[in-house]
Structure 1
């Protein structure tokens, strides 16, 4: 995949990812390590919770989104380097058997005033399930290197 520099990005560009299928085992495994709550750990206990069934942790959804982004069409030089989120929302739960994919749109491109070898892009990413329902939406800022970076020794 061709690495992209700040000069390659323009507001309005869109990128997509491949897809992954979420399993019950993965949801429980992640929850055991990082978010051990009944609605993430136990399918039976989860039926009586807010989610009315087993649901992936939002942080698990974020991690799966990151995996999809890294393997997707958008390939900034030096990797996807986050500088923070302006927003991060989980409007609906991810369930076992869901198939996720990500669509991203460049909202803004800003060269750095103090660092000529880098800039920032603001990106909206939407993680969708197989029914085209948004399960995660974020607006974040990414640090992206300029072509000048590759000419500096």
Structure 2
């Protein structure tokens, strides 16, 4: 069995994976989901404040989500997320950039309304090949407990 609520420790920080962005994937994603000129057209991107083609922030987050699911959540007791609290796109992601993702556990608690699961607050960090943090995501994830407690504290 993969990761359960009990396995996650507040203060832990784990490397999740890496991904290198290509021109082709940046343009393909943007044409479908975020067709702003600086994501799809090199000439327009050169004339933009970014001075060249950049990945959509949504593309960056999607890549990180894919890494998280494939490398950490597959086989886990994850039952989804009630939402993301904050996304910060701090620096542009450009073709050829290699993003290394880290996931930190900031807080956790057993759900009061559903005591068979816990809510874990996490911080995702995307760091490029130059050591610069380019994106952060603060989110909550629900994980099932291996040994849930019944009301009153008895194991079920």
If the length of structure 1 is used for normalisation, what is the TM-score?
0.89
**Counterparts of 2:137 and 2:126 in 1: how far apart (Å)?**
9
Q: Size of the alignment, in residue pairs?
A: 148
* Closer/same/farther in 2, CA of residues 129 and 26 from structure 1, 3 Å limit: same
Matched residue of 1:61: which SS?
A: helix
Shift of 1:75: 5.8
Alignment of 1:64-79 (within 5 A): 64-73=63-72, 77-79=76-78
Name the larger-Rg structure.
2
**Counterparts of 2:86 and 2:141 in 1: how far apart (Å)?**
13
* Closer/same/farther in 2, CA of residues 74 and 103 from structure 1, 3 Å limit: farther
**Counterparts of 2:73 and 2:147 in 1: how far apart (Å)?**
20
User: Which residue is 1:118 aligned to?
Assistant: 117
Question: Is the 1:68–1:101 Cα contact (8 Å) retained in structure 2?
Answer: no
Tell me whether 92-101 or 3-12 shows the greater mean CA deviation: 3-12
Q: Report the aligned-residue RMSD.
A: 1.7
**Counterparts of 2:78 and 2:129 in 1: how far apart (Å)?**
27
**Counterparts of 2:118 and 2:127 in 1: how far apart (Å)?**
28
Alignment of 1:119-138 (within 5 A): 119-138=118-137
Question: Is the 1:15–1:72 Cα contact (8 Å) retained in structure 2?
Answer: no
Q: Deviations over 1:80-102 (max 9, x none)?
A: 72221221100001000001111
Alignment of 1:25-44 (within 5 A): 25-44=24-43
**Counterparts of 1:128 and 1:80 in 2: how far apart (Å)?**
27
Residue ranges of structure 2 left out of the alignment (5+ in a row): 149-156
Q: Note if 1:57 corresponds to 2:59.
A: no
* Closer/same/farther in 2, CA of residues 76 and 132 from structure 1, 3 Å limit: farther
**Counterparts of 1:74 and 1:108 in 2: how far apart (Å)?**
18
Residue ranges of structure 1 left out of the alignment (5+ in a row): none
If the length of structure 2 is used for normalisation, what is the TM-score?
0.88
User: Which residue is 2:138 aligned to?
Assistant: 139
